[in-house]
Structure 1
């Protein structure tokens, strides 16, 4: 359902921003009559519903329609968060190219991104100059509004992100991550006072817009009135923007309550991409506000057309759709507090790790893991730490009490260990003891803001290294991608060198491949079209490959392709026997990142034996006893199932 739009799109809030700068833009937002909306369809909605898998190909098709019919949106959220690494990791496309192409198609609506404070768009801390440079390059490529948050609301990390976004000339939208329930007198760790004090600090630091980021959808109408009403009273001139997820089904009610209490902007997603772990429905908000002082000025029939496009597009991503397992909203989110953006990813991860039928247990373990870690604010990357610990507990059949008791001997996921070391900052209320000391033993601890102790990144030598490795044009955007995700960028470049620009394939072909005898066209660039017809698949050879026959522009061709599914089945790996002391098995399915010992090595109890990685989760497997390595059964890059034998140790 491609839409061709005629003429220049009408003026929008981006024209105000370009004319009056961030301060003038903020004034215009505050002075605006009626409720403003941010549309998350291009980012958080598909991150929450479709495991972040939507391709630029499908975003571009509907962009002209958005530009012509939704010019009065506050912003379009289309970048940052998990979209940055997923673009390279799973979609084999450049995240910067997405930003450039969308900007060309939508010149009039401000673009908004999610910046994880000192974590930029990663899951770890970066040197300060890398965060500043990142914001600068993002702004140059068309980003306007930077929603800056920190996964622990750790102020020093937030201030760094705000400073970086501001220095780049962006609109700074400092976001307070919300957890707990301000209207419940029994839950006082994250009280109204806690949020008000944080807001004071962020306003003092010069934020242009103040945001409440309710990443798990915990705001109820009562707490919305209390929190937003208090903020509006204290900061009458500051625009307030509220973000939520609709996991429990109360999102529209909560956002209307926020708007009534004085919020200027709320987040929505188009109807066919709304609800459940995504944002509340755009159509519902537009209809509820129509004819009231909150009227959005958006035409409902345009929302219906927009929704129709996404209904069709969403069908292409069925294998990643959360509705395969989640048939309705879940009010249990008020208990487990799993962020909407993580909920589907966690389910997907659990499935990949063989825990698909135990998702209920994973959700329960998430609540327990959160308590183990001291009741954290849970949003990337802190939510990932809680999720990793929860899956680790279910995989190894451990209760909270057993984890606390055996903390000094268990091989915890790396993210948990690094969190306790202080790698992402200091949580409100401090680290949990004695759990922290038992896990860390004599590992180093970071005091204060983690990035402050990192040496500046040498961009010049990074660029030289990339040029030497890839022999092609390396842009400043490529350098930035490599700075954020060295390994993912390296694999992305290798993939592109092998397969060329796969972003010109249609989504069905990209995800499923062609059917036998199917003919299709690929437009490499304007006027340069390939005609391809899939003909046949050969038998599996000993190397795990098949010959694929096809026609390219009428010429018969064939290539050898690895059959990864068949190769998995061809491998047989021995299992570790629990009854035999010294046999160490994989605590989870995954890929071997690094083997740290060899036959004959002497090891101490707790010494790292190897590092495993699965779905962005790394685990260091430690030795359960002191002794000598008798046999090593794995090598780097090997794929393991849970329980596969890694090493044998002789006491």
Structure 2
């Protein structure tokens, strides 16, 4: 019997009863973190992870990524869930498989570098709550930003996985910056720091199969610790890349369960299991067990989230990512931002401007938060620059980057841009060269003091320390000080089914006729009227419960908001008293884009000079300092911290 015949015979066994491979590829599952983050904006709820948790624990994954990245932000901001509770809850169901999280170095799970005291305690609390493996990266590959979190990880006895963010300046690996020598040098730095494993983090799916082979082979020769490959499927190369990495000796690969795989997510685990069946790298997984888990995902869980999937494209890959290098999640944010500003027609201008901005900012890798920094600055340039001036509206994060608060860039930042960004910068006009956190004052004690009347729980304090505006709002929801809005409440499968039925009737032209007949015969004084938009069509629907009691607004919003809505949720805002605004004479400061109010720097009655910062507006998680449009006195302030505002909203009046 030939070796090929032996492989075929062994491959006939789909389950775990086949012989164990000599050197099995280890698999980390990303379904419960990066899978739903990539495909439906990190909106996966803990309650929808529990039905599969115990089954996934039996598969034999090396680890399961369940936390970190954008989950911390999204859970408290949009889902009304305590991020810390997710770890504790899942740990009750997943008892065998180690938990992995994505830690953004000194950024933790936020979008800036935090003080050392916050960073240290955050790691300690993550470990205490149940985290086992800390996949740690820095957006600039500046490992000085690991100097606080790594000792904390080690002191907790946990696994420190150091990441190298994969980036390119050429179509393939090479050029003056991101070449083989660059990655080997970074790997040696991580091993010296005490990394237990090294992850090549290819966030945009840029690594080509043969480049992956060369890179993994070189890393295996340069360091002794395991090599882990993380590559998104965005460009369509990741499955091929994984096979070449296996040939080169990669130790661990990242995959997702099939319903959460592909597109901007990761390769699916099931085809890989079948590909390696009977070989020396056989995973040992039971394909029937995986199929049973997928059935639950498909029937009971994913229907709740289908409305969040981007179904505007037929193709499951985006080859343009090889040109603009923007990770999938960031790309969808850019598109949404332009759509809300009625400027989607400028998307090609954004693609053309993006590599220019990236080059000006030091050829930084495009991964959170640098992808957001480059992305929103690119949008600002496209929308607000003219022939006379570039970089007319510079975000606070670009200023921080130019100052050195994120670390050292791969190549120097454009000197003219740096000079312009740091003009009148609050920390000084000369950039720093030290470790960024050395110039950040301790933050933890102040955070404790700020919310002592609300909570003293250290996990709560960290939520506030990382996200002062949205974090405090969540804590007020948590402790019953405010009622959570309907849009943060979960959707049930029954609501989804009912909604799909209404949509089907509307598309068939039956919904309007039926409601018209019912409203003629039963119309009462509690009838509620809603505008419905479907595929460019327009309907006006009256809704009233039989018997005369109007449906509650919250229920109607839950039913209608996802597929056809009365008002786009992104435009929803606390509206000022229009009569009062009209009565106040003066120059208005309008929102240049949709966003959330972080804070006002002034109060009514304050004198201001043209150019003084009036308000900080967050857009796409980046902050924009909006200046006074004239000299004068603040006559009215129309919003408060935490309010969402549409484009052109009057933020204040200067008289």
Q: Are the structure 2 counterparts of residues 347 and 495 from structure 1 closer, same or farther at C-alpha, using a change threshold of 3 Å? A: farther
How far has the Cα of 1:439 moved from its partner?
2.1
Q: Which shifted more, 49-58 or 461-470?
A: 461-470
Q: Which residue does the alignment assign to 2:293? A: 306
1:620 to 2:620 alignment: no
1:422-433 equivalences in 2 (<5 Å):
422-433=404-415
For residues 35-82 of structure 1, the C-alpha deviation after alignment (integer angstroms, 9 at most, x for no partner) is 1111100100110110000000111111011112x12x1110110010
Q: Are the structure 2 counterparts of residues 260 and 207 from structure 1 closer, same or farther at C-alpha, using a change threshold of 3 Å? A: same
1:453 to 2:458 alignment: no
CA separation in 2, counterparts of 1:142 and 1:360? 44
Q: Which shifted more, 150-159 or 295-304?
A: 295-304
Partners of 1:50 and 1:344 within 8 A in 2: no
Partners of 1:252 and 1:284 within 8 A in 2: no
Partners of 1:537 and 1:549 within 8 A in 2: no
2:103 to 115, 125, 139: 115
1:609 to 2:594 alignment: no
For residues 612-637 of structure 1, the C-alpha deviation after alignment (integer angstroms, 9 at most, x for no partner) is 2334232111246x633586574435
How far has the Cα of 1:360 moved from its partner?
4.3
How far has the Cα of 1:504 moved from its partner?
9.5
How far has the Cα of 1:550 moved from its partner?
10
Q: Which residue does the alignment assign to 2:359? A: 371
How far has the Cα of 1:329 moved from its partner?
0.5
Q: SS in structure 1 opposite 2:415?
A: coil
Q: Which residue does the alignment assign to 2:281? A: 294
Q: Which residue does the alignment assign to 2:470? A: 488
CA separation in 2, counterparts of 1:241 and 1:46? 21
Q: Are the structure 2 counterparts of residues 562 and 36 from structure 1 closer, same or farther at C-alpha, using a change threshold of 3 Å? A: closer
Runs of 5+ unmatched residues, structure 2: 1-15, 503-523, 530-542, 558-565
Q: SS in structure 2 opposite 1:134?
A: helix
Q: Which residue does the alignment assign to 1:437? A: 419
Q: Which residue does the alignment assign to 2:380? A: 392
1:135 to 120, 123, 126: 123
How far has the Cα of 1:205 moved from its partner?
1.1
Partners of 2:164 and 2:183 within 8 A in 1: yes
Partners of 1:75 and 1:110 within 8 A in 2: yes
Q: SS in structure 2 opposite 1:121?
A: coil
Q: SS in structure 1 opposite 2:148?
A: helix
CA separation in 2, counterparts of 1:85 and 1:136? 19
Q: SS in structure 2 opposite 1:43?
A: helix
CA separation in 1, counterparts of 2:84 and 2:347? 35
Q: Which shifted more, 112-121 or 557-566?
A: 557-566
TM value normalised by structure 1: 0.79
How far has the Cα of 1:186 moved from its partner?
6.1
Q: Which shifted more, 106-115 or 565-574?
A: 565-574
Q: SS in structure 1 opposite 2:31?
A: coil
CA separation in 1, counterparts of 2:271 and 2:251? 17
Q: Are the structure 2 counterparts of residues 268 and 113 from structure 1 closer, same or farther at C-alpha, using a change threshold of 3 Å? A: same
1:41 to 2:31 alignment: yes
Partners of 1:172 and 1:209 within 8 A in 2: yes
Q: Which shifted more, 83-92 or 435-444?
A: 435-444
For residues 292-311 of structure 1, the C-alpha deviation after alignment (integer angstroms, 9 at most, x for no partner) is 22211112222222223223
1:213 to 198, 201, 217: 201
CA separation in 2, counterparts of 1:360 and 1:584? 29
CA separation in 2, counterparts of 1:97 and 1:252? 34
CA separation in 1, counterparts of 2:50 and 2:351? 36
CA separation in 1, counterparts of 2:342 and 2:128? 43
How far has the Cα of 1:325 moved from its partner?
4.9
Q: Which residue does the alignment assign to 2:48? A: 58
1:204 to 2:189 alignment: no
CA separation in 1, counterparts of 2:167 and 2:525? 53
1:191 to 2:179 alignment: yes
Q: Which residue does the alignment assign to 1:520? A: none
1:502-521 equivalences in 2 (<5 Å):
507-508=492-493
For residues 227-286 of structure 1, the C-alpha deviation after alignment (integer angstroms, 9 at most, x for no partner) is 111111112x31110101010111100111112111100111111211111011111221
Q: SS in structure 2 opposite 1:77?
A: strand
Partners of 1:57 and 1:504 within 8 A in 2: no
Runs of 5+ unmatched residues, structure 1: 1-10, 12-30, 518-535, 542-547
1:174-573 equivalences in 2 (<5 Å):
174-180=162-168, 184=172, 187-235=175-223, 237-312=224-299, 313-325=301-313, 327-356=315-344, 358-396=346-384, 398=385, 405-407=389-391, 410-443=392-425, 444-445=427-428, 447=432, 448-459=434-445, 462-463=447-448, 466-470=451-455, 474-496=456-478, 497=480, 498-499=482-483, 507-508=492-493, 538=526
For residues 92-124 of structure 1, the C-alpha deviation after alignment (integer angstroms, 9 at most, x for no partner) is 011111111111101101110000111111111
1:87 to 75, 91, 105: 75
CA separation in 1, counterparts of 2:264 and 2:403? 31
Partners of 2:364 and 2:370 within 8 A in 1: yes
Q: Which shifted more, 113-122 or 189-198?
A: 189-198
Q: Which residue does the alignment assign to 2:508? A: none
1:64-75 equivalences in 2 (<5 Å):
64-68=54-58, 70-71=59-60, 73-75=61-63
CA separation in 2, counterparts of 1:142 and 1:478? 17
Partners of 1:217 and 1:340 within 8 A in 2: no
TM value normalised by structure 2: 0.78
For residues 546-602 of structure 1, the C-alpha deviation after alignment (integer angstroms, 9 at most, x for no partner) is xx9999xxxx9998869996795996979x9xxxx9765422123444344567765
How far has the Cα of 1:197 moved from its partner?
1.3
CA separation in 1, counterparts of 2:462 and 2:260? 31
Q: SS in structure 1 opposite 2:205?
A: coil
Q: SS in structure 2 opposite 1:468?
A: coil
How far has the Cα of 1:326 moved from its partner?
6.8
